[in-house]
Amino acid sequence: MFFVFFGLQTDPRSIPPVVLAAAALALVTAATKLATGWWAARRAGVGTRGRWRAGAALVARGEFSIVIAGLAVAAGEESTLGPLATTYVLILAVLGPVLARFVEPLVARVRPQPSPAAGS
């Protein structure tokens, strides 16, 4: 319910001024989430494609940012924090599933798996 209420409080006209900052934040955090998932999956012994898949699965997660922004907005701290957090989470909500869908084919194209040796 909190997320619905927070989203309904965001004026759509307040999004364009913060879209570049939100996109920059989304790109940085998407890269760190990819790296974290890759590192954690590697420690668990998962193969290269699975490592990238694990990282991509983390990208769409941004709900905690809305909670923090909601608390700040409720306290009257910053007027652009709410739209920034909303835009950031919206970008990650779109980017995450797209990345999850295409990360494995992209990794396979960039780093093909060796084919099994003939006759072995």
Q: Is residue 54 part of a domain?
A: yes
Q: Is residue 39 part of a domain?
A: yes
Q: Kindly give, in sequence order, each residue whose CB lies less than 8 Å from that of residue 8, ignoring residues fewer than 6 positions away.
A: none
**Could you report the per-residue pLDDT of 63-96, keeping only the tens digit for each?**
676 677 767 767 776 677 778 888 888 898 889 9
Which pLDDT value is given to residue 80?
Answer: 77
Q: Is residue 46 part of a domain?
A: yes
Residue labelled with tokens 């009257």 = 76
Q: Which domain holds residue 66?
A: 2-6+19-110
Element (H, E) at 14: none
**Could you report the per-residue pLDDT of 14-37, keeping only the tens digit for each?**
889 999 999 999 999 899 999 999
Instruction: With cut-offs at 50, 70 and 90, classify the pLDDT of residue 12.
Output: confident
Mean pLDDT over the full length of the chain: 82
Q: Is residue 72 part of a domain?
A: yes
Q: Is residue 118 part of a domain?
A: no
Query: What total of structural domains would you count in the chain?
Result: 1
